Amino acid sequence: MEFKDYYKVLGVARDAGADEIKKAFRKAARKYHPDIAPGPEAEAKFKEVNEAYEVLKDPERRAAYDQLGREPPRHDGRYQPPPGWDSGFSFSQGGPREGETFSDFFETLFRRGADPATDRGTGWGADSHGRIEITIEEAYEGAARTLSLRSPVLSPDGEVTLETRAISVHVPKGVTEGQHIRLPGEGAPEAGAGDLFLEIVFAPHPIYRPDGRDLYLDLPIAPWEAALGGHVTMPTPDGRIDLRIPKNARTGQKLRLKGKGLPGQPRGDIYATLKIVNPKADTSEARAFFERMAREMPFDPRAHLGG
Amino acid sequence: MKKTTLRSEVVDTLTLQDLCRFCQTDEAWVIELVEHGVLDPIGGNSSNWRFVGTSIRRAKKAGRLKRDLGVNTAGVALVLDLLEERDAMLRRLAQYEATLDPIRPAG
């Protein structure tokens, strides 16, 4: 297990006062809150900050932590607390919410003997919440996943150990971002038969931007396809489809592909934003062709700018 | 609720009691969120309220903001509105940047 420098995490000195620690925590919590700062880095940082504050806000815990010293004892490169490091301290209970776990360092040092089920503070402690990331293609098809969940379990002799469980989850087709799926009876095992709720998150996609059941993308077209109109084929998660480009299409023009978005009641749509892409004039033939257009086409794209 | 294999089901709508359990909160807090317009349930009075997906997601966020940052209900409502505005702008910015060709200086 890794030694955690909680003072460094909060960016405060080792002799910082309680007010200073509270201030540093509040500032960091606002900055890294997963609902405010997107991304897994912020979430990890938020958890770290909470863990640090959980120890440093409690005078007993902080004193015990300080006794571990600045230079942590190491055996074979792994941190081991010295024997009897916590003698004379009694910790108030606390810890992460919603059945989450903090680092091994925290769980080993501060969770020992405390019943994790009593940390919750509400009568609904038996439910667990998590997130599951799927691709947009999987949302069309449905997906199967095996999740491994870590939860603290109290053994008969009062030791808290982290138990890993594997759960197979079926994500039905047609889920949208932010929806929840429920797995009855799969909540935290030590607290009775609660449910496990998983929030659906879409992995960032190189082409599509989802909005509910609709998908948005940029569709590149050639200048002659834009000018003359006609049919182009476009791949979608639902298979290749034939798309009619109107005559004299403009960059930025939106085409709606009804019912080609995510499945559901009603089905979503795909919105393709046209983007005219020029071929490069990198051969003499291509150059000659562009030169002929320049000579023969009376076109001033800057006419509306005046002057 | 839609049934799927392996006993998993999609959460479509939740009642007031279900939502309280889901968010590990009490009815008074949910009612306050409805009064502040953070949540928009279907149904006339609290006994037949049904909360759909967007409300479920907002309620969960609101609960986390209250718990983690100590924001009161009016503050939660403001933060959620501003976050939605920000996310919409980030989406528009991403779309705009995707269509923007780099401008090269002449010559």
Task: Dump pLDDT digits (tens) for B88-104.
Answer: 888 788 777 766 655 55
Nearest to B99 among A36, A197, A252 (CB): A252
Name the band, by pLDDT with cuts 50, 70 and 90, for residue A122.
very low
Asked if pLDDT for residue A97 goes beyond 90, the answer is no
pLDDT in tens, A6-43: 899 999 999 999 999 999 999 999 999 988 887 778 88
Q: Which residue has the higher pLDDT, A184 or A126?
A: A184
Domains of chain B listed by start with CATH number: 8-99 (1.10.1660.10)
CB contact under 8 A, A179 and B11: yes
pLDDT at A129: 81
pLDDT at B75: 93
Lowest mean pLDDT among A26-30, A185-189, B70-74: A185-189
Name the band, by pLDDT with cuts 50, 70 and 90, for residue B1.
very low
Residues of A in contact with B65 (CB under 8 A): 33, 35
Q: Which residue has the higher pLDDT, A204 or A191?
A: A204
Cα A246 from chain centre? 39
CB contact under 8 A, A122 and B24: yes
pLDDT at B97: 75
Average pLDDT over residues A266-274: 92
- Arithmetic mean of pLDDT over chain A: 81
Q: Which residue has the higher pLDDT, A41 or A103?
A: A41
Residues of A in contact with B54 (CB under 8 A): 178
CB contact under 8 A, A197 and B79: no
Average pLDDT over residues A190-219: 84
Same domain (yes/no): A108, A4: yes
Name the band, by pLDDT with cuts 50, 70 and 90, for residue A114.
very low
Residues of B in contact with A50 (CB under 8 A): 68
CB contact under 8 A, B11 and A182: yes
Could you give the percent of chain A with pLDDT greater than 70? 79
Give a yes or no: residue A117 inside a domain. no
Give the tokens for residue A25: 């925590």
Q: What CATH number does the domain containing A183 carry? A: 2.60.260.20
Comparing alpha-carbon positions, the chain B residue that sits nearest to A208 is B95
Average pLDDT over residues A247-260: 92
pLDDT at A89: 56
pLDDT at B38: 92
Q: What CATH number does the domain containing A102 carry? A: 1.10.287.110
Please return the burial class of A51, using the count of CB atoms within 10 Å of its CB with bins 0-12, 13-18 and 19+: buried
Which domain-ending residue is among A203, A236, A258?
A203
Residue/partner pairs of B38-43 with CB below 8 Å, 24 or more apart: B38/B62, B38/B73, B38/B76, B38/B77, B38/B80, B41/B16, B42/B13
Residues of A in contact with B88 (CB under 8 A): none
Which domain-ending residue is among A178, A203, A228?
A203
Asked if pLDDT for residue B10 goes beyond 80, the answer is yes
CB contact under 8 A, B24 and A124: yes
Average pLDDT over residues A183-206: 79
Residues of B in contact with A171 (CB under 8 A): 8
Please report where in the chains the tokens 């606390």 appear, as a residue. Answer: A94
- Arithmetic mean of pLDDT over chain B: 83
pLDDT in tens, B34-45: 999 999 999 888
Asked if pLDDT for residue A91 goes beyond 70, the answer is no
Q: Which residue has the higher pLDDT, A158 or A282?
A: A282
Contacts with A267 (C-beta within 8 Å, 6 or more apart), sequence order: A213, A259, A260, A261
Q: How far is B103 from chain A (nearest CA, A)?
A: 15
Average pLDDT over residues A43-70: 85
Sign of CA dihedral A4, B68, B20, B49: negative
Q: Which domain holds residue A239?
A: 209-305
Same domain (yes/no): A220, A301: yes
Average pLDDT over residues B51-77: 90
C-beta of residue B42 within 8 angstroms of C-beta of residue B49: yes
Same domain (yes/no): A20, A45: yes
pTM comes to 0.65
Q: How far is B52 from chain A (nearest CA, A)?
A: 9
Please return the burial class of A67, using the count of CB atoms within 10 Å of its CB with bins 0-12, 13-18 and 19+: middle
pLDDT at A98: 47
Between chain A and chain B, how many beta carbons pairs sit less than 8 Å apart? 89
Nearest to A178 among B4, B53, B65 (CB): B53
Which domain-ending residue is among A80, A112, A144?
A112
Give a yes or no: residue A119 inside a domain. no
Asked if pLDDT for residue A76 goes beyond 80, the answer is no
Q: How far is A233 from chain B (nearest CA, A)?
A: 21
User: d(Cα A53, Cα A6) in Å, to the nearest integer?
Assistant: 8
Q: Any chain B CB within 8 A of the CB of A127?
A: yes
Same domain (yes/no): A256, A282: yes
CB contact under 8 A, A127 and B98: no
User: d(Cα A105, Cα A65) in Å, to the nearest integer?
Assistant: 11
Q: How far is B45 from chain A (nearest CA, A)?
A: 24
Count of domains forming chain A: 3
Q: How far is B11 from chain A (nearest CA, A)?
A: 5
Average pLDDT over residues B57-80: 91
Same domain (yes/no): A291, A243: yes
